[in-house]
Structure 1
Amino acid sequence: MLAFLPFLVVALALLGAVHWYVWRRLVRDVTVSGGPARRLGTTVVIALPLLSVLALVGGRAGLPFVAQQAVAWPGFLWLATLLYLVLALLVGEAVRPPLRAWLARRDAAASAPAAVTVMEAPAPAPVPVPEKTEKTEEPAPEPEAAPAPAAAVSRRLFVSRAVGGAAVAVAAGTVATGAYGVLRGPKVKRVTVPLAKLPRAAHGYRIAVVSDIHLGPTLGRAHAQRIVDTINSTQPDLIAVVGDLVDGTVEDLGPAAEPLAGLRARHGSFFVTGNHEYISGAEPWVEHVRELGLRPLRNERLEIAAGFDLAGVDDVAGEREGRGPDFVRALGDRDRSRAAVLLAHQPVVIDDAVRHGVDLQLSGHTHGGQLWPGNLIAELANPTVAGLERYGDTQLYVSRGAGAWGPPVRVGAPSDITIVQLASKQA
């Protein structure tokens, strides 16, 4: 806990600084001091981050599930909105100076007097002035104080409101579109993967890969049912659920997961743990998915009748509980002349897969970045963020996932369920 404290302090300081910047640009700069609009805006900027913190820690803090659901939607949506508000406002910083300069030139041109041509007239005859006996000089009047530059103030207010309004519109539109994409459900993606050792009889074998469903306070039973209906519509030979099924306990989310009992595939449905299962209680969830008809693969392997091996390993997060990935147990004594497909939640175990002669590893975990530019951060921690890549003789396919963690929003990384079709080079 003490080791985590510096990170927490830095994170809170950064969060405070970001909210101060948003308050300054969207509240202070566009409202009248002491007015009701400023008071309301200040209240909102204080309340929303508090809801976000509750949404993030509510489950671990023991908040009742109904309360978690109440704070999750506004809290998580604000986090996504905050990201794009800040990005849009930073772009707006570059727009402000030229916009103010253009307005100043326009105002100056509008207020300049029109040029008038005047005919010269003969100078009038001088009028004699009587001489004064005494000459007195009147003191020159003192210059009056310059009036406040009202036009400049008006221009600043106009620019602040224009840039702030545009930033709000961009952020709201981005988040609304991203949320609609998640709630609509994942789309089906199809990928063909040739395997040198795959027998002719298994040519065209189809595996439905779904990862990162993230049932929780925002995505519940309806989300699970959409995923089940989408998978079943593809009529796969085998279904692979590669981790991060839930964000919560069996007690809270058991009913939300019940539609998974309706998954249908010729050779069954299989499950491996993800890091979020170890946050939510891995052992109870493993038993619950077994009751729903999915077979957990916990560092084990079985032979698929079509002619290849299917193996699954526990997630690396399980090492804290003594149940991490065990590649020797899952793959150590197998016949390497047979093709092997490995289910592993995180792409980072690809090096172990290569050492154990795996032909294809199916993973998730990255969400494809979920919220642009999150993909740039995900690239720093994962060998592959999304799609199919080759590492030596092993191919790695990473799904972007079917749900969302935290904000139920995706930007630049649409959710998917992938039908991986195996191809035999002997066919």
Structure 2
Amino acid sequence: MIVLAVLAAVLVFAVFGALHWYLWRRLVAATTTPGSRWRRAGTVLFTAAPILAVAAMGGESPPLPLAVKTAFAWPGYMWLAIFLYLLLAVLAGELVRPLLTRWLRSREAAPALVGAVGDTRTPEEEPGTAPLLVGAVGDTRTPEEEPATAPAPPQLNRRMFVSRVVGAGAAVAAVGTVGLGTWSVLDGPAVKRITVPLAKLPRSAHGFRIAVVSDVHLSAVLGRGFAQRVTDTVNATQPDLIAVVGDLVDGDVDELGASVEPLRGLRSRHGTFFVTGNHEYFSGADEWVAKVRELGWQPLENARTPLPGFDLAGVNDVAGADSGAGPDFGKALGDRDPARASVLLAHQPVLIDEAVRYGVDLQLSGHTHGGQMWPATMIADAANPTLAGLEQYGDTQLYVSRGAGAWGPPVRVGAPSDVTIVQLASRQA
């Protein structure tokens, strides 16, 4: 098993390095002259950037100060995003390159014609013969008296010109895409509102509003300031209840305890409830459960609590199964009154089949990030029953939030972040 893991890691690094070499060839070697400062700068970039990216991905586990991790995480993760969109843009440029080359060739061939249609000048009268004149009208200088002409600058060959145009377009597209995607994350999640009718919900609970917060991913990249933006966004909606459905953090309590403090300010009529996500198990789930309880939240560890008009249940994430603390639907839902409406908090949408089997009316999940960065959206869509939004599975409805934050690169493309206000509706109202 260890040998296979090592071989897989070697293969991944080899592919990663090969793709950087390909980008260096297209964006540096093909657009600069050997020995130029631009060639040297580009070579340094395509050598150092992937090293920083690897350091960022591997820097979460070592016991380093948070400031040191942040210093590596920001440039490393940002390069991963830029690398992805540079690669896509350069590959798209391979389609543009032959078309641009053909167009330039046709332009270069046009002056070889003697004259356009309707041009009656003889070859002797062509503008190209003008340099044979000693001087312009009124110029009495002899050829020996002509001023010395400066040597012509070296001309840019067609291949390098095409490479520069395509490379510049790819760089602008990649940096622009990543810039907008980063701003969409750092600006904080948008508020999304949906209404979900529940057949068993009594009239008295009609209009009950749950703020669904998932995948905040506080880390060396998204810290205390981001936690405050999430808190302000949620509180502005004045929900009846707040449901945090996992992946709150990427790091241990000692490291990120101060970063989560602004979330202590979350306010709602019935409080804040929490279930674990897979990332909590990477950094000490028990410690984080204790921490959120200290924040004033109520963890639902395979547990249920009655609320006015419905039961609220929560199950641990499937990642907890490795330590004997996985989801236990029997414990959370086995002895409940089936006549009451039920809402289940479960981090991953893949638990929907168990939710259907236990007669859950509505499951609230996250985990997918909506794919976070296109084209990863297609991979996430294939790996989950629902990528984002509301869908029906038998008598159970599943709502999946795209999440409030971001994992890895603080960038979202084609999958905007959200805090969702789920308003429950009674069919008796």
Same fold (TM over 0.5): yes
Q: Residue 279 of structure 2 corresponds to which residue in structure 1?
A: 276
Give yes or no for contact 2:114–2:123 (8 Å, CA) kept in 1: no
The equivalences for 1:84-99 within 5 A come to 84-99=85-100
Greater shift, 104-113 or 238-247, is seen at 104-113
Alignment-derived partner of residue 327 in structure 2: 325
Report the equivalent of 2:181: 178
Alpha-carbon shift at residue 191 of structure 1 (Å): 0.5
How does 1:5-404 map onto structure 2 within 5 Å? 5-114=6-115, 116-117=121-122, 154-304=157-307, 306-404=308-406
CA offset at residue 273 of structure 1? 0.4
Please tell me whether the aligned partners of residues 59 and 65 of structure 1 are also in contact (alpha carbons under 8 angstroms): no
**Conservation of the 8 A alpha-carbon contact between 2:53 and 2:75:** yes
Amino acid at match of 2:367: H
How far did residue 65 of structure 1 move? Answer: 1.9
Separation in structure 1 between the aligned mates of residue 64 and residue 93 of structure 2, nearest angstrom:
39
1:353-382 per-position Cα deviation (integer Å, ceiling 9, x unaligned): 000000000000000000011110001210
Point out the more displaced range, 35-44 or 262-271.
35-44
The Cα offsets for residues 79-102 of structure 1, whole Å up to 9 and x where unpaired, read as 011111111111100011111111
- The residue identity in structure 2 corresponding to 1:221 is R
Could you list the runs of 5+ residues in structure 2 that have no partner in the other structure?
125-153
Partner in structure 2 of residue 142 of structure 1? none
Distance in 2 of aligned mates of 1:394 and 1:415: 25
**CA–CA distance in structure 2, aligned partners of residues 224 and 329 of structure 1:** 32
The superposition leaves residues 157-185 of structure 1 with CA deviations (integer Å, 9 ceiling, x where unpaired) of 11000000000000000000000000000
Q: Secondary structure at the match of 2:305?
A: strand
1:57 shift after superposition: 0.8
Deviations 1:63-88 (A, max 9, x none): 33221100111100110111111111
Deviation of the 1:117 alpha carbon: 4.2
Q: Taking structure 1 as the reference length, what is the TM-score of the superposition?
A: 0.90
Deviation (angstroms), 1:111: 4.2
- How far does residue 105 in structure 1 lie from its aligned partner after superposition? 1.1
CA distance in 2, matches of 1:347, 1:275: 12
Q: Partners in 2 of 1:347 and 1:118 — Cα distance?
A: 78
Q: CA deviation at 1:14?
A: 1.4
Contact 2:305 2:311 in 1 (8 A): yes
Distance in 2 separating the partners of 1:61 and 1:20: 29
Q: C-alpha separation between the residues in 2 aligned to 1:23 and 1:256?
A: 38
Q: CA deviation at 1:299?
A: 0.2
Aligned equivalents of 1:281 and 1:417: distance in 2?
25
Partner secondary structure for residue 337 of structure 1: coil
8 A contact 1:242–1:273 mirrored in 2 = yes
Contact 1:186 1:227 in 2 (8 A): yes
Structure 1 residues 118 and 181: CA distance shift in structure 2, 3 A:
closer
Report % sequence identity. Answer: 64
CA contact (8 A) 1:348 1:383 kept: yes
SS of structure 1 residue aligned to 2:250: coil
Matched, 1:412 2:414: yes
1:255 alignment partner, SS class: coil
Deviations 1:243-285 (A, max 9, x none): 0000011111101100111111111100000000011111111
CA distance in 1, matches of 2:4, 2:425: 49
- Give the C-alpha shift of residue 116 in structure 1: 5.0
SS of the aligned residue for 1:48 comes to helix
Letter in 1 for 2:353: D
Farther off after superposition, 37-46 or 338-347: 37-46
Measured on the aligned residues, the alpha-carbon RMSD in Å equals 1.4
Q: Deviations over 1:113-164 (max 9, x none)?
A: 4485489xxxxxxxxxxxxxxxxxxxxxxxxxxxxxx98x711111000000
In 1, the alpha carbon distance for the partners of 2:358 and 2:113 equals 81
TM-score w.r.t. the length of structure 2 is 0.90
CA distance in 2 between partners of 1:377 and 1:61 (Å) = 30
Counterpart-to-counterpart distance in 1, 2:41 and 2:49: 12
Question: 1-side partners of 2:362 and 2:260: how far apart?
Answer: 28
Give the letter aligned to residue 103 of structure 1: L
Counterpart Cα distance in 1 of 2:409 and 2:113: 53
SS of residue paired to 2:192? strand
- Which residue number corresponds to residue 145 of structure 2? none
Q: CA deviation at 1:18?
A: 1.0
Which residue matches 2:426?
424
Q: 1:308-364: CA deviations, max 9, x gaps?
A: 000000000011111100000000111111111000000000000000000000000
Distance in 2 of aligned mates of 1:242 and 1:251: 22
Structure 2 distance, partners of 1:16, 1:63, is: 27
Secondary structure of 1:256's aligned partner = coil
State how far apart, in whole Å, the 1-side matches of 2:220 and 2:410 are: 10
Instruction: Give distance in 1, aligned partners of 2:164 and 2:113.
Output: 27
CA deviation after TM superposition for structure 1 residue 10, in Å = 2.1
Report if the CA contact (8 A) 1:84-1:171 is conserved. Answer: yes
- Kindly tell me: are residues 8 and 118 of structure 1, through their superposed partners in 2, closer, same or farther at Cα, counting changes over 3 Å? closer
